[in-house]
Amino acid sequence: MTKHIFITGGVVSGLGKGITAASLAYLLKSRGYTVAMQKFDPYLNVDPGTMSPYQHGEVYVTDDGTETDLDLGHYERFAGVNCDRHSNYTSGKIYSSVIAREREGGYLGATVQMIPHITDEIKTAIRSAAKPGIDIVISEIGGTAGDIESLPFLEAVRQFKNEAGPCNAMVIHLTLVPYIKSVGEMKTKPSQQSVSILHNIGIFPDMLVCRTETAMEAEQRRKLSLFCNVPDEFVIEERDVQHSIYEVPQELAERGMDAKVLGLLKLPVNESHLDDWHELLNRVLHPERTCRIALVGKYAGLRDAYKSIFESFAHAGIALHTKVECDMLEAEELEADCSKLSGYDGILVPGGFGARGIAGKIAALQYARTHRMPCLGICLGLQCMVIEYARNVLGYADADSTEFNPETTHPVIDLMPDQRGIASKGGTMRLGAYPCTLVEGTRAAELYGQRQISERHRHRFEFNNAYRDTLAAAGLSISGISPDDTLVEMVELSDHPFYVGCQFHPEFKSRPFAPHPLFVGLVKASLKVRGER
């Protein structure tokens, strides 16, 4: 029987439930258990796909094309799990399903209510992750205890835990224990009140994970145990890490969190195998060199908008014993002057939607191309590479994407029929994993070390095949194409230290133990350029 762990949050948002959940999953996997993970978000959007990155950070995409919360990136990177459409549910998705069923007569005329219909739908979603062969499902409940939006999910957790029976489901409550510097004292009252909210709705946490700035003393742990009705040994300190989020699994392991979780679930506490993680962490904490990368984007005010990109650079740095310092530069600020790029070793131009910042991205790409600075263009970044090359090498002054200029006489980027012959417009974006064939002898094929690859996509516009031969003849090599030869997936310059563009999002497949070859290639080329200065 699959066991279930629910992770809730209290006091304030942003405490790191996703990192904690992913770290626990890794620790459980290191003891030989198979783990699946889920995120339940209380907002009414059906999915994060149409939300501004400033609202909720990046939109993470799974192999099956599901647009999800960025926490699923933590799940896949830390725990090595493969997430899918059963891994992320929002209130909007739950309510839409219930309303659609009611419209079809699925409730046989019953009055549709929050309880039992909405909570039953949530419980069905929880069970959807308990596939054959899965030992433990970890379900993270978004929001904070006390939020009105989270109540249906918490009620569903209460019901599910009761129905599952003893030792088959447990609740871990992540809470803040703040240190008040002016009085020199750590305060447990906010956590007590947060747990009290859960008690009032019938949820009694089995374990507390306490985010702290400083070490907890025995007195604080005793008070939390007494007033929160949690045994002292299950009050787990999670102190702020000093250097990297990849320190969190080791910290929780030192607290014995995974062993205690298995004890509560009445599962054997198998031997833990963490040697690989210790080696990884050693590389993170003791790099041999440094390189600087400029990320030229349009959401420079929020690092979470490019979360997976930053993590991919960390992974490349681990592989190359390098600390990668990646700074966000606002694309619009580079439109008139790109001189500040001279202080960097490499450039990355990420994906995005809309015309804002395009001129700055194109200017940065021209700078990288003409100054022989290593550069990687992702999704919209590839499209801007094509536009820049068409304008400044081929001389097509108005070359553009029809996304930005429908009247251009040189639509080098355009809406193209997708692989099913349907125009890729509106809700028919190319989403999820698609195959790609790499051209033999190209840098792309060299980096991957294979000809056939699969990468995740999230875009609507494509390289216009009408310009394929013209651009290739002018030196912009087509290095990756769809197996049926209809879609350009990668471009590059063969006479440049590193100038590569990809239509897909490689950052979604990078892992700590398997860094993505395109990020490794960019960092390696950037280190070489840095050494030649």
Catalytic residue among 86, 173, 505, 516: 505
Q: What does the alpha-carbon distance between residue 84 and residue 68 come to, in Å, rounded to a whole number?
A: 9
490 strand-pairing partners: 480, 502
Which CATH architecture is the domain 288-532 placed in? Answer: 3-Layer(aba) Sandwich (3.40)
Q: How far is CA 162 from CA 120, 125, 157, in A?
A: 14, 17, 8
Of 223-237, 416-430, 434-448, give the lowest mean pLDDT range.
Answer: 416-430
pLDDT tens-place string over residues 377-402: 999 999 999 999 999 999 999 999 99
**pLDDT average, residue stretch 500-521:** 98
- What value does the mean pLDDT take over residues 171-183? 92
Model confidence at 80: pLDDT above 70? yes
| pLDDT exceeds cutoff 60 at 104 | yes
**Residue 121 pLDDT > 80, yes or no?**
yes
Please indicate whether residue 243 is annotated as part of the active site. Answer: no
Q: pLDDT tens digit string along 304-334?
A: 999 999 999 999 999 999 999 999 999 999 9
* Pairing between β-strand 207-212 and β-strand 235-239 as defined by DSSP bridges: parallel
The Cα 429–Cα 461 span in angstroms is 8
Query: 199 an active-site residue?
Result: no
Alpha helices in 464-532 (DSSP H): 468-473, 517-532
Provide the residue ranges of all domains of the chain, joining segments of one domain with +.
3-280, 288-532
Fold classification of 3-280 is: Rossmann fold (3.40.50)
Least confident of 69-78, 123-132, 170-179, 420-429: 420-429
Sheet containing 35-41: order of strands? 88-90, 35-41, 136-141, 3-9, 169-176, 207-212, 235-239
Quote the pTM value.
0.94
Choice among 379, 384, 436, 502 that is catalytic: 379
Task: State the Cα angle at 457 between 456 and 459, rounded to 5°.
Answer: 170
Q: Is 492 a catalytic residue?
A: no
Q: Which of 237, 455, 492, 507 is catalytic?
A: 507
